[in-house]
Amino acid sequence: MWGNKRFHTLNYELKKIFGEKIYKVSLDGGFTCPNRDGTLDDRGCLFCSDKGSGEFAGDRRKSIGVQIEDQLALIENKFPEGKVIAYFQNFTNTYAPIEQLRKLYTEALSHPRVAGLAIATRPDCLPGEVLDLLEEIGGKHFVWLELGLQTIHERTSELINRGYSLEKFIEASDSLKKRKIPFVTHLILGLPGESEREILESVRFVNKSGSWGIKLHLLHLIRGTKLHEYYKENPFLLMEKDEYISLIIDILEILNPETVVHRITGDGSRDTLIGPLWSLDKRSILNGVDKGLKERNTYQGKFYTEDSSDRNYKNPNT
Ligand code: SF4
């Protein structure tokens, strides 16, 4: 078990690595995304908000140092001292000239309370010079990447306009593994038309990808997104709370016990979230998962059978 939890939490892992409790602060490095700026497309992913999927990050008009101070002030009551991970969250955080990236990452790392970096990006935005920089920084600091895969199924990937193929993800994950740069794979649960069986296939793929961690997001319907427009034309069922909790437990059971679970639910903004509204009560979802794991007398990896060293990906789309 992992502390008092039945799954391998990020909290547990960071305490093990740093010997103390570590928080994350979300930053906006002022980036855009090739899937929004017209390079690949100008529509973006269907679910992406105008904040580039980072609703609670710092203010992009401010410097990284000031954003860190602002974010630390927000958690001052519960975390007045101690280290944090600087999380470059909004848009594509490796999509800029290399010197600009170096400057932003270095500025974050120079803050006395920053213990490491988390960098969200796309697998098609990791050219050699960016990997070199990440490897260099990773030699001195704790750094991980976050990749938004969302699904392995090409049909859904096209529907959500992800803009890169599964092969691209495999290529990037292989390069990251070779350079020993840890990465976290994001999946979205409840995408239109996806069955539980298909979602579990995506999880099994993550097991084989060499991911250090996984982030599970409930699909949020956010006002003003392309997903909202799609929903008006093609209404689909949003997940129910019990269904979601049960699915999370099914996922944890087949997940590699080594994989660090960074998140099992999402953060929706009360002002813009159309549904599912029950997801605003995050505490009750987390409690529901803990309770369900206990009632089923189960835990992460109970039914994990795959050999994580197996690099023979089975691409279900080919
Ligand atoms: S890759 Fe990220 S930032 Fe770009 S459109 Fe998709 S969700 Fe938004």
3-state DSSP assignment of residue 134: helix
Return the pLDDT at 298.
Answer: 98
| Residue 284 reports pLDDT greater than 70 | yes
Q: What is the mean pLDDT of residues 233-237?
A: 94
| Residue 10 reports pLDDT greater than 80 | yes
In the chain, where the domains are located: 10-295
Q: Determine whether 223 is exposed, middle or buried from the number of CB atoms within 10 Å of its CB (0-12, 13-18, 19+).
A: exposed
Convert the pLDDT of each residue in 22-67 to its tens digit: 999 999 999 999 999 999 999 999 999 877 666 678 889 999 999 9
User: pTM of the entire structure?
Assistant: 0.94
Task: Indicate which residue's Cα is closest to atom 6 of ligand 1.
Answer: 45
The preferred substitution site among 88, 89, 91, 156 for testing ligand 1, maximizing ligand atoms within 8 Å of CB, is 91
CATH: 3.40.190.10, 2.60.40.1180, 3.40.50.720, 3.20.20.70. Which one for 10-295? 3.20.20.70
| Residue 81 reports pLDDT greater than 80 | yes
Q: What would the two tokens of residue 46 be?
A: 């269907």
Distance 155 CA to ligand 1 centre (A): 18
Return the pLDDT at 311.
Answer: 39
Nearest to 264 by CA among 77, 11, 54: 11
Measured in whole angstroms, how far is the alpha carbon of residue 22 from the centre of its chain? 17
Distance 220 CA to ligand 1 centre (A): 14
Whether the CB-CB separation of 190 and 238 falls below 8 Å is answered with yes
Beta strand segments in 21-74, E = 23-27
- Strands 221-222, 273-275: pairing is antiparallel
Confidence of residue 307 (pLDDT cuts 50, 70, 90): low
Q: What is the mean pLDDT of residues 16-27?
A: 96
